[in-house]
Structure formats: structure tokens, C-alpha cells
A and B are shown apart, each in its own frame.
Chain A
Amino acid sequence: MTSTETAVAQRGPTRSRATTILGGVVLIGVAVWLFLAFVASGPDIRTTAEGNTIGQFDAVRLLYIHVPLVITAYSAFVVTAIGSFMVLVKKSVWWDLVAGASAEIGSLGAALTLLTGSIWGRPIWNTWWEWGDVRILTTLVLFMLSLGYLAVRRLEGTAEVRAKRSAVVGLLLVVNVAIVNKSVEWWADQTLHQNSTIAEGAIADLKAFTLFFSIVLGLAAYSWMMIHRFRLAWLERQYDRFGIDDAIAARRSEADHAQPVTQGESA
């Protein structure tokens, strides 16, 4: 057995004690989160001074997944940008893999942000899609740009060339998101989107805590995915670099075993 195979057989491809614990904590967190979001916290119903009932009612529960998703997605792309920058400065492979792993999770997060936002928008704004909203459009373009980035990562070339090329696109991603955000803001003139629900104080007590808890949980889940995805990428890279050597070594040892040896010696 080669060294890589031994490691894989001993503890699984990307698992370690720390990630097992982190994964367990996230799983328990999901259970607590579901309890908080669906059972413990109530629907958003407020009464105005005139006695009218307003609020988001049960749709407020969607915020407990929408908000952590969007925060996780944008954080992930910040990590991608930092990683891309470090690749160009330090010519580091480690950062390249970090940037790539983070962008994959980020695009998933961006896609799910758009999906959950759309589901939330249907009862609250009475539309699946709102063209006048800056944040929706920015997130959509970010998602598209991230797909382009991931496509560039898959282009052929040596590891160093690919790392550099991806790093340039990764850094441009941030520049582009900033331009798109500004121009769409200008274009749409106004935004339908809520201001930060927390900052406005529209949400309080247990609802605020649930939202806060969900954000922490989202970032923890991101870390867990990130570590596994990074380790997988690392193994892939090791395999690309040493796979041939390992295969040759395995062949050699087979040839050695083919020699007439006694049972005791081969063990």
C-alpha cells in the first residue's frame, strides 16, 4: 500500500478528529436551528398604532436561512479574493486551493440565496423576481461571475499557470461585483430590499437570537465544507503530482511479491 492509500484507509480521505467534532457540532446546531426557527420563535405579527396587523407572518422564518446563506456566500468570495491576491503575491499553491474551494461553496451559497430570496419575495413583495432591486441583481451577477471563475479553474495547463490565471479572474471578480453593484444602484434608483433587519431593530428577542444563531451556524457549516473541500483538492493535487510515482512503486512491490518468498517474510 502506498502512503496516500494508507492514510485514506486509516481515517477516510478528508476526515480528521477536528472535522468530525466540527461536523457533529454543526449537525446538532442544525437541529437546534430548526427548533428555534419553526417551534420556539413565532411568526412576525405586529400591530400598528391604528390597530392594523402588519408583518411578515410565517415568511419571517425564511430569513433564518436566507440571511446566513447570503452572509456565507459573500464571505466565501472575500476568502476567494484574499486567496487570489496571495497567489499572485506569494505564488502559493495552498492559497490557490483555498480560493477555489471557497468559490465553489460561495456559488452554491449565492444560488441558494437567490432561490430562498425568491421564495420569500413571493408572499412579501408579491413577486418571484424584482428587477428594481439592487441586491438581487448584484447577487445574480456575482453568481454568474463565479460560474465563469469556476470554469476558468477547470481550464487546462500546469498547476502554476492555472493558479495564476484563476487568481487574476478571482481578483477581477471583486472589482466587477463592486462596479455592478454601483451601476445597478444608480440604474434602479430605489431598492425594494429591506435594510438590514437587525440594524433597523425590526426584529428583536428570540427572533433576533435565532437569526444570529443561524448566521453563526452558516459560517460553521462553511468552515466544515471548506476544510473538506480543501483537503480533497489537496489530495487531487498530490495525486496529480505523485500519482505516477505511487503507481510505479505499487508495480514494483507487486513484482517483489511475485518472487518466491515464504509466508512469514512477506508479512
Chain B
Amino acid sequence: MLSEVLLIAGKDLRIEFRSRVALNQVAPFALLILILFGFALDADRASLTTFTPGLYWVAILLSSVLAVHRSVAVEAGEGAREGLLLSGLRPASVFLGKTVALIAQILVVAIVLLGGVVIFYEATIDDGVLLVTSLVGAVLGVGAAGTLYGALLGGQRARETILPILLLPVLAPVLIAATRAFGDAMGTVAADGWPWTSLLYAFAALYLALGVLAHGVLMEES
């Protein structure tokens, strides 16, 4: 099982390493969103710093949609989907493998973006442990839900327009919880971030389980 997961994750990451879509397109897009927020909020340092957690996570969610598209797109052409079906790999392994690869890519984007908010928004990090823990939990959830909904849409031509409307409302709880946890870690809100971090991990666990269960149905059929 583990070797199958690593095989699929390795495949997706190798494609990413050679094409550099996440690094050269998705990460710059995420930074661009940060800069656009800067313009939109009139370059007001105080409000940018106050709203950093929320703006950061909105930027992550929007760029994650692009990363999910990419993750699905590598299976869409050249009979890749049929190849995957014929490979005899368990659907659960395929789901977990693609999730791992997607999570790795979103994490890279998240780290780049973290540098972005520190430089552009003068965000300060008070509690590094909380920040990293909640970041990982949130990205796990985004990766699991993203892979599941991505698989659902498969090779559909309408994917580009449907994925955001399908995925973003689902990720609303992640946005809420991650923003609160970051607010605590960056000292912008007086709230305890740890319960929110637990919520993030609960969300991630739920979606990992749902993905493992549902992926078989989706992989055969769509």
C-alpha cells in the first residue's frame, strides 16, 4: 500500500519537477494575489498586518484551485486515466498518492507565500509551533478535499468553471479555522488558536477517509 502511494506521489512530483507548473505559475499567482490585496487596501500597512491571516488563506485557497486543476490535468490526456486503471493499483492508493503530491506542492506555495506576507505585510510570527502545526493541518485538508473533488470532475471540459464553485464552499471551514489559528500565531487576534488547529486536523482526517472510500467509485466511472 505504502509503496503504491509513494509510486503515484513520486510520479506526480516528478512531472511537477520537470514541468515546474506549481513553482513557476501557481506560486507567482499566489504572490500576485497578495500584491493585489495591497493595491486594493490602499497599501495601508496597519490594515494589511491586521488582516494578514485572512488574506494569506484566501490567497492559498485560490491558488490551490489551480494546483488541483493541474493535478487532474496530468491524468486527463494521453490515455493516462486508462493507464492508471489498468495499472491494477488500488483506488485508495491512487487517491492518497495524488493527495500527497498535491499537499507537497501546496506546502511549497504556502512557504513562498509566508515569505510574501512577512515582507509585504510586515507580518510577525509570535508562535512558530502553532503556525506550522495549523499550516500543515490546513494544507492536509485542502489537499484531501481538492483531490477528491478533482477526481469527481475528472476529464470534464467544464472542470475549470465548476471546480471553484464546488470546492471553495467546502473549504470555507478551513478558511475560518486556519485564519483564526494564524491570527493567534501572528498575534493579530486575542483568541486561542489550538482548538482551531484541532478542527483543521479533524477536517483533514474526515476528507482523507471520504477520499479513500469514494475514490474507487469515482475512478472507475467518471
Contacts and interface: CB of A to CB of B under 8 A. Distances in A.
A156 interface: yes
Contacts of A172: 170, 210
Nearest to B213: A168
Interface stretch (B1-9, B132-140, B172-180): B172-180
B79 to A, nearest CB: 18
| Chain A interface size, under 10 / 10 to 19 / 20 to 34 / 35 or more | 20 to 34
Contact of A168 (B152, B180, B195): B152
A152 B154 CA distance: 11
B156 interface: yes
Interface in B157-194: 157-158, 162, 165-166, 168-170, 172-173, 176-177, 180
Contact of A148 (B166, B173, B177, B199): B166
Contact of A183 (B166, B173, B218): B173
Nearest to B180: A187
Nearest to B177: A183
A152 B169 contact: no
Contacts, number: 70
A147 B180 CA distance: 27
A72 to B, nearest CB: 21
Contacts of B172: 141, 180, 183
Contact of B203 (A152, A161, A179, A186): A179
A176 B169 contact: yes
Interface string A161-179: 1001100110010011001
Q: A interface, by DSSP: helix, strand, loop or mixed?
A: helix
B152 A169 contact: yes
A168 B214 CA distance: 7
B221 interface: yes
B17 to A, nearest CB: 32
A152 B163 CA distance: 9
Nearest to B161: A151
Interface in A176-217: 176, 179-180, 182-184, 186-187
Given A152-B162, A168-B152, A180 B173 contact: yes
Interface in B37-56: none
B183 to A, nearest CB: 11
B217 A156 contact: no
Nearest first, the 5 closest Cβ-Cβ pairs linking A and B are A148-B166, A183-B173, A144-B169, A161-B221, A148-B165
23 contacts: A141-B169, A144-B165, A148-B169, A151-B158, A151-B162, A151-B165, A151-B166, A152-B166, A155-B153, A156-B156, A156-B157, A157-B221, A164-B217, A165-B152, A165-B218, A165-B221, A168-B214, A169-B166, A179-B206, A180-B169, A180-B173, A183-B172, A183-B199
Given A148-B169, A179-B173, 16 more contacts: A144-B168, A145-B169, A145-B170, A148-B165, A152-B166, A160-B221, A161-B221, A161-B222, A164-B217, A165-B221, A176-B169, A176-B170, A180-B172, A183-B173, A187-B176, A187-B180
